[in-house]
Structure 1
């Protein structure tokens, strides 16, 4: 791992130094940092660093996308930054919303187990394939031993989750392990137990929620007893009291409620899909990669994991299993068609990675920068998901990712391979559609040819005026990645120095957002312009903003559109970086921003070549 030493050093330096790191975890492709101050991180330096695919911010985490070798980089970064198992996993000194705290908690609990969980699923799937193909029988010693190897992780999952949850909540990890082990104790699972006249019959092996909630109860209990019990006896008295309170209460009350919640979540998802499996599959397939893009997909898959591990076949997991193949088909088409050798060199490894279910290198490195290709992959994923819904495909056992997910479609009870055949059909359809569209529509970025002096070129152009007075900045420096990566179109951003927005052209007001923080205009020449006032200012719900126009109103260059209280908004803690975006960028040969650091309202801002 010495080859990652310099990369780790550079990453640590550009996330603000090791003193800025609160905690670090990793998933399949990303380093997931909790930073004290994300403003100290150098986003652009990291994005352009060799060995880094891109940077994302989601779920209260600063995510550095590395690729398949992230576990090795993670180890080196931990070592260089001095991050130990006892390092704080909570966001000390960092303000996080409830949503971000929840995302961070679930990610921190689940992510450390995902790799071994996938490996165990692959072992179970291969064991089933070997048994069905006649290499050995399901009652043979070989099958039972290999099944025990693959099944142990799932059966004793509460033990692993107990450890992860305790670490995340800064409790004693060994206490978390014991709570998980107690829930798995054979003689109290699936039997009638009477307490105070009530009968409890619960099974906690292969469960997820119960142990998380019980450890969440145990953690504050442990902190309380550590404060009130004398030091001389607290070493053994604290864990004893915590176990005697948390485990019985958890087993009798919290566990059954948690199991019920899990069942209800599964039923809600399955009822939505059951209403129309095809439409459900279409929506799931189309949106899954967007969830992966923002790093919040784990939240959606936890209920499905709970279903499968409890022995309930799951449809949602079947639908998303198809999507990665649509992404890889697009990358394959680009690799075959492009004449750009640098693109070929990164596309082929990304394609290989995608075949095994890891699509982040393909998304961030290949398709997302070419947004049309990313959309095509979502279309292919949508069709594949719809086909999976048509077949009513289900995942019966936890398996791996990509091609390793196929054994999970074997109905082990019926000994049927029908699901594997049907999911292969869905995969092929998704790949054919994605590959065909991508191959037909992909074009390398054009290289401008020099124009001879004697050659006359006739180019139509439209000039837009600045709607705001302030300082100009490129979109790439805007804090919001959707704008910075030009996902919505090209343009520029302005940091206002006064609270007035004027019409940049003659045209029609197409959209006035209810929160008044954004306005859309279409010019008389067909240019579609979005002016987005500030970052996250939608949360102000219109406070400090006043609109002076309505939807459908004709405006002339320089007409007042919106006024706002600049200082009041800044005092609320919001950035007023204002992107001005040409949302129909594809209709123009080029969009040329003015070359100045400061701009007056009404002066030339963008030149559009038609």
Structure 2
């Protein structure tokens, strides 16, 4: 199917924003053309609002925004062509996109905005991870070439997510994209974790406390505390690092002479921001994760059912902040020590709450783009990969995300009450069932896991029926 021609619409928009000579700059977000005009009084608001193909006109953040809808990339391309404007066509993740509400609302808008440009690829790779899981289920060895290639495609996107987030965060925080990516390359540099571990640490910070931190290397005498889980697959550390880097870059851009700015500004930005990420931002996130782990361990020791309820409710939020890594080592140690574990069982059926909520959204939404995104996100969720669902649909919509947390709490408590036990750490989603078969063949835990799976799917769907499905794109 050929792309629709928006040349006439593009010509009309250009003419009624004051002509191409009145356009200083142009970008686009998910639904809007964002013009920077020399003189906004030359734009004909009333004509554009009434024009077929234009939803409305908004003036915000010093920009003249023409709301088009989810086909805005095609209109943008034709406006570029007609007006002779050059550009990379990337999304403008602008401050004007964020709500002016509380900090939580702003955080959701920030994270959702950073994930929106990559949702197609994120959903596709999530589905590929499902295909890989199917291959394993059907006995394809992990040494098989097809498995190796597809696993690299599916898993690679998630492993190196900080690099993609760095690019998008650079758009959001007005930082040079390649400088931001250089910062992310440092955080996920191959084998860097091995450089910060040894048989014996140089010394230990906060010995005997919850945040006890062995130090194996230093930067000019300052301790480097590197997480055992590394920065692969993480979200918040790189976002904070790019935010800090954008401030450093802006400072040096003001004081460095233009003649050497092109390489001196990135030099000073990276030489300050990278150590800051390793010495301050990273350790703070690691300590926060350790505190979360200790807190949940205390709740578990007090009452496993309360623990399952709280963890089921909070798991998706913990993953968003990267704080779940405080719990994963405890579960691994528990499994290694006892050959079984109940520590993270409360989290394993949450993906089906997302799937149920998505199914309801697919049926009820009037937005074609949401339907398009929901289908691959639904499939990914069934295989335990919920990032496309969370960042692409339920989190931006707010209430469906809250619904999935409620469902997670209910079935987290259910699984803890029946002492559902995992005997293998491996499969996710539909392929987690074999993990709950005891070595002696007892399938009690697997049956309860199945109840949680079906229950989460149904309850996620039913509870979503009682909440409003807001518009994401056709605003």
Q: 1:142 aligns with which of 139, 142, 146?
A: 146
Q: Unaligned stretches of 5+ in structure 2? A: 198-215, 329-343, 379-399, 421-426, 438-445
Closer, same or farther in 2 for the Cα pair 1:148/1:199, shift >3 Å? Answer: same
The residue that corresponds to 2:133 in the other structure is 128
Distance 1:44 1:392 in 2: 56
Q: Give 1:161's match in structure 2, choosing from 150, 158, 165.
A: 165
Counterpart for residue 181 of structure 2: 177
Could you report, residue by residue, the CA deviation over 1:70-123 in whole angstroms, capped at 9, with x for unpaired residues? 76566556766847348976559x996785875654444332222222221211
1:113 to 118, 135, 154: 118
Hey, which of these two has a bigger chunk of strand by percent?
1
Whether the aligned pair in 1 keeps the contact of 2:293 and 2:326 (CA below 8 Å) is no
Contact 2:223 2:279 in 1 (8 A): no
Q: How does 1:292-307 map to 2 (within 5 A)?
A: 303-304=319-320, 306=322
Query: Residue 84 in 1 paired to residue 87 in 2?
Result: yes
Q: Distance in 2 between matches of 1:101 and 1:167?
A: 16
The 1-side partners of 2:223 and 2:405 are apart by 48
Q: Call closer, same or farther: CA 1:143–1:194 in 2, change over 3 Å.
A: same
- Whole-angstrom distance in 1 between the partners of 2:91 and 2:183: 22
Q: State how 1:304-383 maps to structure 2 within 5 Å.
A: 304=320, 306=322, 314=347, 318-328=352-362, 355-357=375-377
In the other structure, the counterpart of 2:193 is 189
* Cα offset, 1:13, TM superposition: 7.7
The alpha-carbon distance between structure 1 residues 320 and 75, as it changes in their structure 2 partners (threshold 3 A), is farther
8 Å CA contact 1:129–1:407 kept in 2: the answer is no
2:431 to 385, 403, 410: 410
User: Given the superposition, is the C-alpha separation of residues 230 and 306 from structure 1 closer, same or farther in structure 2, using an over 3 Å criterion?
Assistant: same
Question: What is the match of residue 201 of structure 1?
Answer: 226
Counterpart of 1:423? 453
Q: Check whether the contact 2:170–2:180 (CA below 8 A) recurs between aligned residues.
A: yes
Relative distance call for 1:57 and 1:19 in structure 2 (3 A) is closer
Corresponding residue SS for 2:191: helix
Closer, same or farther: CA 241–96 of 1 in aligned 2, 3 Å: same
State the shift of 1:163 in Å.
Answer: 1.8
The runs of 5 or more residues in structure 1 that have no matched partner are: 285-299, 332-345, 359-376, 395-405, 438-480, 486-610
In 2: Cα distance, 1:42 partner to 1:269 partner: 57
In the alignment, what sits opposite 2:200?
none
Q: Deviations for 1:30-79, whole angstroms, at most 9, x for unmatched residues?
A: 55969999x99779958x96797x99999999896846x67656655676
Superposition deviation, residue 222 in structure 1: 2.1
The alpha-carbon deviation at position 260 of structure 1 amounts to: 4.1
Q: In the alignment, which of 221, 229, 235 is matched to residue 248 of structure 2? A: 221
Distance across 1 between alignment mates of 2:150 and 2:283: 32
* CA–CA distance in structure 1, aligned partners of residues 14 and 284 of structure 2: 46
Check 1:55–1:102 CA distance in 2 against 1; reply closer, same or farther (3 A cut): farther
C-alpha separation between the residues in 1 aligned to 2:268 and 2:401?
52
Output one character per residue of 1:275-303: Cα deviation in whole Å (capped at 9) or x when no partner: 4867998x99xxxxxxxxxxxxxxx8694
Higher relative contact order (CA 8 A, sep 6+): 2
Cα contact 1:189–1:204 (8 A) shared by 2: no
Cα separation, 2, equivalents of 1:157 and 1:102: 18
How far did residue 269 of structure 1 move?
Answer: 11
Residues 35/322 of structure 1: CA separation in 2 closer, same or farther (3 Å cut) = farther
The alignment's TM-score, normalised by the length of structure 1, stands at 0.46
1:194-235 deviation line (CA, Å, top 9, x unaligned):
222745233212211222222222222223323333444333
Q: Which residue pairs with 2:277 in the alignment?
A: 250
Q: CA deviation at 1:172?
A: 1.6
Structure 1: how far apart are the matches of 2:10 and 2:265? 41
**Alpha-carbon offset, residue 257 of structure 1:** 1.2
CA contact (8 A) 2:183 2:270 kept: yes
Cα distance in 2 for residues equivalent to 1:302 and 1:5? 44
Greater Rg over alpha carbons, structure: 1
**Matched-pair contact (CA < 8 Å) for 1:156–1:206:** yes
